[in-house]
Amino acid sequence: MAGIRPAKCYRWDSPAYTRVNNNPSDSYITGIPASKLNTFNMGNVKGEFDTEASIVYSVNIQVRHNALDAARVQAQKTLEKSVGLANYFFKVRPYPHHVMRENVQASGAGADRVSDGMRHAFGKPIGRAARINRGQKLFSVYFNNNEQRLAIVKKALHQAEKKLPGYTSVLVEPVKAKK
């Protein structure tokens, strides 16, 4: 089985997965793989916290659903073990809506008789990605600030950053009061 294709195959400016056909039933998207990311709110959802730490992107990028889930699991494990479930609220902000597609090429003997080449090269769906803009928050952790807890939350987010592509940073700021 081949590995995941590199990010350069999926440009930011690639069009969203849409297709318009004269026959309306052929315009629907079929066979989109399910997203691995299905948990978006973790920890104490109803708690009131005074500090927010977030992973922020410094570039426009597409992040695959499996990378988002791997980073979420890494951060969640560290927070749950070190801080305790009642002492934080962890939120995944983007949803992987963008469907990535691939024009599968046959290779080997007789491939020219089997493959269409670049004819009908729209491609089949192979996965999902979230499109993240520069300055957009990816994950947010809400907690009550003290030095020890701040260090643990930063450590958890730095571990999650290692699972993500591109250039990220951790931003810590006070929670804005609700109106």
- Beta strand ranges found along the chain (DSSP E): 41-43, 51-57, 61-64, 88-92, 98-102, 124-132, 137-143, 168-174
Report the pLDDT value the prediction gives residue 179, as an integer from 0 to 100.
Answer: 41
* Beta strand pairing call for 137-143 and 41-43: unpaired
Which has the minimum average pLDDT: 28-37, 123-132, 144-153? 28-37
**Is the pLDDT confidence value at 118 over 50?**
yes
CATH architecture of the domain with residue range 35-97+125-179: Alpha-Beta Complex (3.90)
Report the pLDDT value the prediction gives residue 158, as an integer from 0 to 100.
Answer: 93
> In the chain, what are the domain boundaries?
35-97+125-179
CB 12 within 8 Å of CB 61: yes
CB 60 within 8 Å of CB 124: no
Higher model confidence: residue 30 or residue 94? Answer: 94
> Residue 18: how many CA atoms within 13 Å on its side-chain side?
4
> What are the pLDDT digits (tens) for 130-148?
888 899 999 999 998 888 8
CB 152 within 8 Å of CB 58: no
Mean pLDDT to the nearest integer, 49-73: 90
Report the pLDDT value the prediction gives residue 28, as an integer from 0 to 100.
Answer: 67
Phi-psi label, residue 144: left if phi above 0, alpha if psi -120 to 50, beta otherwise: beta
CB 93 within 8 Å of CB 57: no
- How many residues would you count in the chain? 179
Mean pLDDT to the nearest integer, 36-64: 88
Report the pLDDT value the prediction gives residue 161, as an integer from 0 to 100.
Answer: 92
Higher model confidence: residue 109 or residue 51? Answer: 51
**Is the pLDDT confidence value at 83 over 50?**
yes
Report the pLDDT value the prediction gives residue 114, as an integer from 0 to 100.
Answer: 64
The 10 Å Cβ neighbour count of residue 3 is 5
The per-residue pLDDT of the chain, averaged, comes to: 82
